[in-house]
Structure 1
């Protein structure tokens, strides 16, 4: 959390302030007078650039004169530039007076210290503004003068000609263009030595040189042709431009969200410098009815317990003027600190907002179910353990990997020669064994496929290690692996798990789509259960034939299914004698699939099934066959902050008209999925005809299906903060990730907006 969360009267030293992390909530700020004199104007300018803190919030009601009253959201429109609201104190404040009124002796004003909460006396707002010479208007004029750099004394003493201003704008625009290119690619900005004459000045200066070499106008104002004190290329300048770019990108996202409802997707992971980082992503429905997921920030969290994460979220929300009261969904990976019933993050948020319903990541649940539960079977557990060892042994050195590639190329050539493989563009490309990872969904399936595809080549590499291994330990390990992978039990387990994971692979990938809706996700999970049940009922003969064919191809001995099963690694006195077919079909095949089905039913019943079943009634599939008026009214009752008792009665009548309208319109009868329905309602402007129903649809779309966007953000973090850039600060990391991950939004940010924000960050030598 920010270091400025309590009102401390100790002076703030100059080096302690991070302008990008100033608390936005007026109830959490320290007085301007507590800042170092050299910092006051910088802090004021930073707050003025952010603008007044005006969160979309379920404002707390307070009993005044026997009536419940609260802050009126419309006051923000009437007093847009200065009126602020503190979620922390549930009171209103004045931005102008906070920044400058403490300099005169009227700092006791309620709009500066304790806040204004007399909601029945709206006239007090106009009284606070007062006449032309009131304290408020004096503070306002000081704020306006602060942002007019042309009036500053250092600028007045050093007037710039129009030519100098034009050159400065060209120079600054070139720097912004260079950094825009680097940020979009996630490329490092700085080099080892940026001084003149260095051969490793870094990407920024190299691209600036390249740009100058191909543009005479730029070449005339940068590098050696720029004033010595106004090159606009120092590391501090680079970081300021990056920060300005990130802020403008985030402003676009927050503006696009507006005061709408949203869900949060959160996870934490270590970066390359072993710092725990928490990523926050918002999911909402935009004005066109599209489901949007946007990255809004990364924060260093020294402690990953739920309370610390909640404090960090509060700080981030206050920074961007967001409110927990607007959350309508939470999506996590299922870790105990996230989903704990009493002290988990989801519980802490739901105590403040009962409508912030939690959904365990669907794709993550599939991964946990299909792999972790299957490992409870001894042979399946041995399969994945041995595969992990196999990948380590075969890929232990470059030499062994080269042998694997060469042997695979030879086998592919021989298969092509006898017609076992087809040739064509993109077929039979070079591959290698894939390493499975518990945090990479679907990676186990890819590992099994690559092993089956390269089985003969893997055997060849193990044979080579047994014959020519550098040590007896390595030769013994390779010999044990060679014996295990050429056993019927290994081949049987390998193909069984390949079929089980293959059933849900496409479904898992589909669940990771950003625009996936919760109703369709439930149908996909239901389809997974159905296909696994079909495999259990009718898949044994096909599996046995597939395994037998594989064993025959690679000379692996298949047991006679009528013989007694010989259990390895167990005392034979304790083993109940059964036939091979009984063991492999009943105890192994049925046992693994029954565990899968039981776990799928258990895990996907953990969520509020009544909520999800009610949402399924919104589906337009099969001419709105799932429509149920009572269940949709019940769905609205899950969101008491969005539907009043009067609106619930109105919803019943609106639903009757709505379903008649939908079923009589051919454009809506052919729709599939709630996401498509939302877009169509906006296109036909029926979202305004049926506002309550459209709100229900948005609430269904907001609920997150998976945390795939968070996982993608962690992948981006590894690119931006790499081993060679492991000293990158938290602020620069956050700014770089915003522009890199949300490059589509960043592309729409004008250079002029970035330049103006950069220019107003502090007093600049150059003037526009």
Structure 2
């Protein structure tokens, strides 16, 4: 398991959203309690207060997001203000997966795509036939968990339909396995030439491509101002889209009170609902067309320094993780570090090497001369104590 913290670096003239890698955790107990205990222990070891946690995000595993025994529920029991948001990319993938599984034609279509790949992948001779005919994009296997990546599987066939068909026909003529030869010929002459399959190829390629674009936007730290305000409204329980319907005064005031209650802990809240309402009404009168994302808005509010409650609302929004993409990407780095040549590397050393590799920008800013001097001074003091 990996731990990532999302936070804001604030000063008078800049606002930066940062996500920092804290390390990999070796987990033996994958239950909600086991994951919670090891996460809590790790956060305390870094001196991070749970009461300061304003958002938490995980994948859609039951042990993480469970509302009764999951990690998010256990953190909420300690700090009720730690908003939980499911990973946007995981939710999008699950939606697409359910949509395709409910559609018979969708299941058949992806079944054909996988059958074509399997025929070539299960034999080096058949793969050579594929390489001789298909030059641009190699066929890809379907992924059950990352549905947006299936666009590569569909793209390879959509863009090279004639070449793939020719490769299947050659397999049908040359392969010694009668069953494989018959299946390859059937796919080439029937499925790949079927009008419905061709239309499905175009439709699913467009759907998956747009899903991939949305996922990339979700991974971005920047968000349009309008979307940011909508997200704040969702956070406080006001689900209307103000761009379409407009926000009435009574609804805005109700939303402010909901936010005050959501941020309340031990009869104290981070904001005052009436003051937030007044600030938002005043902010509406200002010229805001120059802002392209909530980071610019927060910077503007900090410079003015008379929107304290609105500033807190934006800081909470920006610190809540939208996706766990950054954490997932760290596992890609783990594959590079823990190869078969380093299979017995210790957990502490692995996390240290990962920290050096992932947070290399911080490493490059370190003054090594000063670090070496401090190390030498400590060793000199230790040696003097041993001699004395």
Q: Does TM, normalized by the shorter one, top 0.5?
A: yes
Q: Indicate how the Cα distance of structure 1 residues 758 and 721 shifts in structure 2: closer, same or farther if over 3 A, else same.
A: farther
Describe the SS at the equivalent of 2:25: strand
Using the TM superposition, give the Cα deviation of residue 284 of structure 1 relative to its aligned residue in structure 2, in angstroms. 1.4
Q: Indicate how the Cα distance of structure 1 residues 747 and 633 shifts in structure 2: closer, same or farther if over 3 A, else same.
A: farther
Q: Give the alignment of 1:53-68 within 5 angstroms.
A: none
Of 212, 226, 236, the match for 1:505: 212
Q: Give the alignment of 1:600-615 within 5 angstroms.
A: 610-611=234-235, 613-614=237-238
Using the TM superposition, give the Cα deviation of residue 480 of structure 1 relative to its aligned residue in structure 2, in angstroms. 4.2
Asked if 1:722 is matched to 2:339, the reply is yes
CA contact (8 A) 1:514 1:709 kept: no
CA contact (8 A) 1:281 1:296 kept: yes
CA contact (8 A) 1:281 1:294 kept: yes
When you count helix as a share of all residues, which structure comes out higher?
A: 2
CA contact (8 A) 2:237 2:258 kept: no
Cα distance in 1 for residues equivalent to 2:104 and 2:181 = 26
Using the TM superposition, give the Cα deviation of residue 697 of structure 1 relative to its aligned residue in structure 2, in angstroms. 0.8
CA shift digits 1:97-146 (9 cap, x unpaired): xxxxxxxxxxxxxxxxxxxxxxxxxxxxxxxxxxxxxxxxxxxxxxxxxx
Cα distance in 2 for residues equivalent to 1:643 and 1:746 = 43
- Equivalence for 1:691: 308
Asked if 1:681 is matched to 2:273, the reply is no
Of 349, 352, 358, the match for 1:732: 349
Q: RMSD between aligned alpha carbons?
A: 3.4
Using the TM superposition, give the Cα deviation of residue 286 of structure 1 relative to its aligned residue in structure 2, in angstroms. 1.5
Asked if 1:491 is matched to 2:198, the reply is yes
Cα distance in 2 for residues equivalent to 1:522 and 1:439 = 31
Using the TM superposition, give the Cα deviation of residue 765 of structure 1 relative to its aligned residue in structure 2, in angstroms. 9.5
Describe the SS at the equivalent of 1:300: coil
Asked if 1:633 is matched to 2:253, the reply is no
Of 256, 269, 282, the match for 1:660: 282
Using the TM superposition, give the Cα deviation of residue 658 of structure 1 relative to its aligned residue in structure 2, in angstroms. 5.6
Q: Indicate how the Cα distance of structure 1 residues 283 and 438 shifts in structure 2: closer, same or farther if over 3 A, else same.
A: farther
- Normalised by the length of structure 2, the TM-score is 0.85
Q: Give the alignment of 1:317-332 within 5 angstroms.
A: 317-332=43-58
Using the TM superposition, give the Cα deviation of residue 638 of structure 1 relative to its aligned residue in structure 2, in angstroms. 0.7
CA shift digits 1:590-609 (9 cap, x unpaired): xxxxxxxxxxxxxxxxxx98
CA contact (8 A) 1:292 1:515 kept: no
- Equivalence for 1:378: 104
CA contact (8 A) 2:236 2:256 kept: no
CA contact (8 A) 1:364 1:441 kept: no
Asked if 1:475 is matched to 2:198, the reply is no
Asked if 1:281 is matched to 2:4, the reply is yes
CA shift digits 1:488-529 (9 cap, x unpaired): 3433333332233234332221111134489738979xxxxx
Describe the SS at the equivalent of 1:442: helix
Of 263, 287, 292, the match for 1:672: 292
- Equivalence for 1:708: 325
Q: Indicate how the Cα distance of structure 1 residues 489 and 762 shifts in structure 2: closer, same or farther if over 3 A, else same.
A: farther
Q: Indicate how the Cα distance of structure 1 residues 484 and 332 shifts in structure 2: closer, same or farther if over 3 A, else same.
A: same
Q: Alignment length, in residue pairs?
A: 377
CA contact (8 A) 1:290 1:679 kept: no
Q: Indicate how the Cα distance of structure 1 residues 481 and 295 shifts in structure 2: closer, same or farther if over 3 A, else same.
A: same
Q: Give the alignment of 1:368-407 within 5 angstroms.
A: 368-397=94-123, 399-407=125-133
CA shift digits 1:559-579 (9 cap, x unpaired): xxxxxxxxxxxxxxxxxxxxx
Using the TM superposition, give the Cα deviation of residue 401 of structure 1 relative to its aligned residue in structure 2, in angstroms. 4.2
Using the TM superposition, give the Cα deviation of residue 341 of structure 1 relative to its aligned residue in structure 2, in angstroms. 1.6
- Equivalence for 1:337: 63
Of 16, 22, 29, the match for 1:303: 29
Q: Indicate how the Cα distance of structure 1 residues 384 and 351 shifts in structure 2: closer, same or farther if over 3 A, else same.
A: same
CA contact (8 A) 2:224 2:292 kept: no
Q: Indicate how the Cα distance of structure 1 residues 764 and 720 shifts in structure 2: closer, same or farther if over 3 A, else same.
A: farther
Greater Cα offset, 330-339 or 758-767: 758-767
Which structure would you say has the larger RCO, counting Cα contacts within 8 Å and 6 or more residues apart? 2
Cα distance in 2 for residues equivalent to 1:472 and 1:764 = 79
Q: Indicate how the Cα distance of structure 1 residues 762 and 616 shifts in structure 2: closer, same or farther if over 3 A, else same.
A: farther
CA contact (8 A) 1:341 1:347 kept: yes
Q: Indicate how the Cα distance of structure 1 residues 347 and 359 shifts in structure 2: closer, same or farther if over 3 A, else same.
A: same
Q: Indicate how the Cα distance of structure 1 residues 466 and 504 shifts in structure 2: closer, same or farther if over 3 A, else same.
A: same
- Equivalence for 1:40: none
Q: Indicate how the Cα distance of structure 1 residues 703 and 648 shifts in structure 2: closer, same or farther if over 3 A, else same.
A: closer
CA contact (8 A) 1:516 1:705 kept: no
Cα distance in 2 for residues equivalent to 1:322 and 1:503 = 39
Q: Give the alignment of 1:198-217 within 5 angstroms.
A: none
Describe the SS at the equivalent of 1:486: coil
Cα distance in 2 for residues equivalent to 1:452 and 1:741 = 37
Asked if 1:463 is matched to 2:169, the reply is yes
Describe the SS at the equivalent of 2:57: strand
CA shift digits 1:299-318 (9 cap, x unpaired): 10012111111111122112
Gaps in structure 2 of 5+ consecutive residues: none
Describe the SS at the equivalent of 1:749: coil
